[in-house]
Structure 1
């Protein structure tokens, strides 16, 4: 079963760290977003394989937007 990773706030994607197929562990950084001049890492909450990365550098995400999925 896939787990959706969603944006917690309005922000701009600053860096995409993972790619589909990458294995992640809890606490691994998936992407880094920028909000109010602060860089905020979006972390994996469970182990698994990245199924999709649904954002690119420069994208603006709103609260609840899909960032990635982990299977």
Structure 2
């Protein structure tokens, strides 16, 4: 199991994956918006999305878990 975490505080602008989707290392899975900038959050390895911990519009803090892949 791999937890993909927020690298900084911001709003979840877009979620690019859904539960059951296969992801590859470095694929952008979530895009955060902070201070008018878009910050892509990438998968750190290959796997399948098993859980989305956030939804679009949510505010997250640095270190919050966004997506879980296995």
TM normalised by structure 1 equals: 0.94
Deviations 1:14-33 (A, max 9, x none): 00110011000011111110
The root-mean-square deviation of aligned C-alpha atoms, in Å, is: 0.7
Runs of 4+ in 1 over 4 A off after TM superposition: none
User: What residue ranges of structure 1 are gaps of 5+ in the alignment?
Assistant: none
Q: How many pairs does the alignment contain?
A: 70
User: What residue ranges of structure 2 are gaps of 5+ in the alignment?
Assistant: none
Q: 2:47 aligns to what?
A: 48
